[in-house]
Amino acid sequence: MRFILLLFFWSLVGSTVAQTDSLENSKSTYLDSTEIKKICAKLQIPSNLEANNDLLNFITDWIGTPYCYGGETKKCTDCSGFTTNLYVTIFKKNIPRSSRDIFNHCLPIAKHALYEGDLVFFATSGGRTISHVGVYLWDGFFVHASTSQGVIISNLKQGYYRKTYVSGGAWLD
């Protein structure tokens, strides 16, 4: 009986320590609600006080970066270059370099079930062949590198993106 109680105790302690470690590892730069509201206003997106602060800062830093095919720096980037940089910096996950490869390694997610950090995929060349990727924020908004405007925030409800949207996806490690 003592053995079972000891196991139970250690499982509780271990679980608490693991949760604390996990929370500390996922902490982002703290922004107060006023600062979050300012950043969201600057980015022209609805305020989200529960947003990942590091994600907001990353987007602010990259917004307006010009588009260039094959680029992956703040000098110029394409959609998958931007997305891979965001994922490695914010989520510490290495993902493939092409939108199609990213799509092929994701768990599909319905549009209504998208969550901050999920990936959104588009067939911008017609059909259903994936040719564009972005990162979902909230309320239909997503960040991506547009061929015409560089790194911008768009909305899935906009005609072009509503028409070319294929799927959402969660990255599987």
Active-site residue (options: 79, 105, 106, 112): 79
Q: Which residues, 6 or more positions from 108, have their beta carbon under 8 angstroms from its beta carbon?
A: 167, 168, 169
Query: One of 40, 68, 112, 132 is an active-site residue; which one?
Result: 132
Could you confirm whether 79 is annotated as catalytic? Answer: yes
Tokens (6 digits) for 29: 């730069």
At position 56, the amino acid (one-letter code) is L
Say how many Å lie between the first and final Cα of the chain, rounded.
Answer: 40
**Residue 67 near residue 54, CB atoms below 8 Å:** no
Catalytically active residues, by annotation: 79, 132, 144
